[in-house]
Amino acid sequence: MAETATLTIDGKSWELPIIRGTAGEPAIDVTKLRDLTGHLTYDPGYGNTVSCTSAITYIDGDAGILRYRGIPIEQFSQRPNFVETAWLLIFGRLPKPHELAAFSAKLTANAHLHEGLKHHFEGFPIDAPPMAILSAMINAKGCFEDDFTHLEAEEAFEETAASLISKVRTIAAYAYRRSRGLPFIYPDPRLRYCANFLHMMFSMPYDQHLLDPDIEDALNLIFILHADHEQNCSTSTVRMVGSAKANLFASLAAGVCALWGPLHGGANAAVIEMLEGIHQGGLTPEQCIAKAKDKTDPFRLMGFGHRVYKNYDPRAKMLKQVADKVFSKLRRSDPLLDIARGLEELALKDPYFIDRKLYPNVDFYSGLIFRAIGIPTNMFTVMFAIGRLPGWIAQWKEQHDQVGGRIARPRQIYTGPELATYVPIERR
Ligand code: CMC
């Protein structure tokens, strides 16, 4: 018999269907609630609201589990390949060798930016935030496509996805070069995804950047760990914009803007600012913890806490190991890493953080690794965006392919004046 939940209002009862996901997680289906009862549900921040069904990513926040298309995230660390992970997320299964080779070839063929698009960088002030440039350039890129609004055919979609995943890295590197007044370095078709990105970031026309396979692997894993995270703020934004049948480029550009916020992807840069503040003697780690606990102070311990994880974020666990590897490989030490470890230790034994189940999240250690690789702080959230792009594309496609989808349009409870009168300006 179908499961239901009984809702009783003013003595009248209704049976509402319960739907369950693969792991049995239940949700009360309220799609007919307003028609049946005249009532709405109130859930600011959507902490209890399921906005869609999705077969892409599974998270169990209490157990600290993350899986892409059913595969535990830990399994991606063996031979990290971001391009393979992107294909898996977008097309729903691991690619066969010839499919991966064909997709990689598409990425290589699409790495260049149209010269016309390249000139757009000159229009930005030298200190323009790279996330603003990234969002604007993704939207602008759509204008350089022959037919960017129709992506019904699987092949056309694959070509466009490859082009976006490839070019986002070129755009990111060019935004950085522009901010430093450095010449643009063209992509090198002989290099793999992450190596090519590092080449465009750090080579000079007269001096090829030396690539280290261990750093390349670390970057691959970092991008993989950021690749999708179900219905977070930026992904929900991509789906929200996409639900209006807006094109892929416009939807992704909106996702970049949402990711920019310091409570979301912008937290990786905010963590470094917080650690630098401590290092420069602004605050001791103990004062920082006390400030984060003080309810009269808006300060939060950046890189801590998560809407879904009420356990150690599995991505943070893996990134902590990547940080150790990268620092020992580069034979580098960073006082900020020691401060981060100390802060984590303090927080994890503090009743405030224990009671609220606040653990390090993906942003706590990622910035330290970016810093060690030589990525400047204002590019950290761009790095997150490069990693998240396949997830956004997969989510947009899943929604686009679903039959009978509706435009996303939440309701509200109006609390303004009931009826007011317009007063002409000369009488106000
Ligand atoms: N420092 C201090 N207190 C915190 C923190 C924190 N980082 N995070 C949550 N809390 C407290 C919060 O004040 C609340 O306390 P109380 O119950 O006494 O009112 C309690 O913990 C529950 O927090 P919440 O506000 O209900 O949590 P949320 O699900 O709305 O917010 C969050 C999640 C990630 C926005 C939040 O934890 C936060 O602001 N963290 C710092 C920013 C950050 O690291 N963001 C990256 C998130 S992971 C990657 C991503 O999504 O991009």
Report how far ligand 1's centroid is from the alpha carbon of 69 (Å): 27
pLDDT at 100: 97
Report the mean per-residue pLDDT for the chain.
94
Nearest atom, ligand 1, residue 300 CA: 1
Above pLDDT 90, what percent of the chain? 85
Nearest atom, ligand 1, residue 313 CA: 48
pLDDT at 1: 78
Sheet containing strand 57-60, edge to edge, reads 57-60, 65-68, 71-72
Residue 291 pLDDT class (50, 70, 90 cuts): very high
Nearest atom, ligand 1, residue 305 CA: 37
Nearest atom, ligand 1, residue 361 CA: 48
Mutation choice for ligand 1 from 230, 295, 306, CB with most ligand atoms inside 8 A: 306
Positive or negative, the CA dihedral 343, 349, 355, 359 is: positive
The radius of gyration of the chain from alpha carbons, rounded to an integer in Å, stands at 23
Which token pair is 356?
């609220």
Residue 186 amino acid letter: Y
Residue nearest to atom 25 of ligand 1 (CA): 307
Q: Which residues pair with 197 in a beta bridge?
A: none
Q: Report strand pairing: 26-28 vs 12-20.
A: antiparallel
Mutation choice for ligand 1 from 260, 307, 354, 381, CB with most ligand atoms inside 8 A: 307
pLDDT at 149: 59
Confidence check: pLDDT of 181 > 70:
yes
Q: How many CA atoms lie within 13 A of 217 on its CB side?
A: 14
pLDDT at 282: 77
Lowest mean pLDDT among 141-155, 227-241, 291-305: 141-155
Report how far ligand 1's centroid is from the alpha carbon of 42 (Å): 21
pLDDT at 147: 63
Selection from 168, 235, 211 nearest residue 373 by Cα? 211
CB 385 within 8 A of CB 134: yes
Q: Which residues are CB-contacts of 407 (< 8 A; sequence separation ≥ 6)?
A: 243, 244, 245
Residue 254 pLDDT class (50, 70, 90 cuts): very high
Residue nearest to atom 34 of ligand 1 (CA): 306
Say how far apart CA 199 and CA 211 lie, in whole Å. Answer: 8
Kindly report, residue by residue over 93-106, the tens digit of the pLDDT.
999 999 999 999 99
CB 215 within 8 A of CB 326: yes
Confidence check: pLDDT of 315 > 80:
yes
Q: Which residues are near ligand 1 (CB < 6 Å)?
A: 45, 232, 263-265, 267, 292, 300-307, 356, 358, 361-363
Mutation choice for ligand 1 from 293, 356, 392, CB with most ligand atoms inside 8 A: 356
Selection from 396, 398, 399, 388 nearest residue 86 by Cα? 388
pLDDT at 405: 85
Mutation choice for ligand 1 from 300, 346, 388, CB with most ligand atoms inside 8 A: 300
End-to-end CA distance of the chain: 64
| pTM of the predicted model as reported, rounded to 2 decimal places | 0.94
Kindly report, residue by residue over 369-423, the tens digit of the pLDDT.
999 999 999 999 999 999 999 999 999 999 999 988 899 999 999 999 999 999 9
Residue nearest to atom 4 of ligand 1 (CA): 300
Cα–Cα separations (whole angstroms), residue 206 to 69, 200, 203, 387: 44, 13, 8, 29
Active site residue 363: yes
Residue nearest to atom 47 of ligand 1 (CA): 264
Nearest atom, ligand 1, residue 265 CA: 52
Residue nearest to atom 50 of ligand 1 (CA): 264
Report which DSSP code applies to 45.
G
**Residue in 120, 226, 229, 306 annotated catalytic:** 306
Report how far ligand 1's centroid is from the alpha carbon of 181 (Å): 37
Above pLDDT 70, what percent of the chain? 98
CB 154 within 8 A of CB 97: no
Say how far apart CA 119 and CA 113 lie, in whole Å. Answer: 10
Report how far ligand 1's centroid is from the alpha carbon of 288 (Å): 15
Report how far ligand 1's centroid is from the alpha carbon of 232 (Å): 14
Residue nearest to atom 41 of ligand 1 (CA): 302
Say how far apart CA 105 and CA 417 lie, in whole Å. Answer: 60
Mean pLDDT of the 255-263 span:
96
pLDDT at 153: 77
Q: Report strand pairing: 26-28 vs 65-68.
A: unpaired
CB 365 within 8 A of CB 319: yes
Active site residue 150: no
Report which DSSP code applies to 204.
B
Mean pLDDT of the 242-262 span:
95
Residue nearest to atom 15 of ligand 1 (CA): 356
Q: How many CA atoms lie within 13 A of 168 on its CB side?
A: 29
Nearest atom, ligand 1, residue 229 CA: 51
Helices 362-373 and 335-348 cross at an angle (nearest 10°) of 170
Kindly report, residue by residue over 31-75, the tens digit of the pLDDT.
999 999 999 999 999 999 999 999 999 999 999 999 999 999 999
Nearest atom, ligand 1, residue 45 CA: 30
Selection from 246, 240, 224 nearest residue 77 by Cα? 224
Residue 351 pLDDT class (50, 70, 90 cuts): very high
**At residue 146, what are phi and psi to the nearest 5 degrees?**
-65, -50
Mean pLDDT of the 141-170 span:
84
pLDDT at 336: 92
pLDDT at 150: 63
Report how far ligand 1's centroid is from the alpha carbon of 295 (Å): 12
pLDDT at 271: 94
Kindly report, residue by residue over 10-22, the tens digit of the pLDDT.
999 999 999 999 9
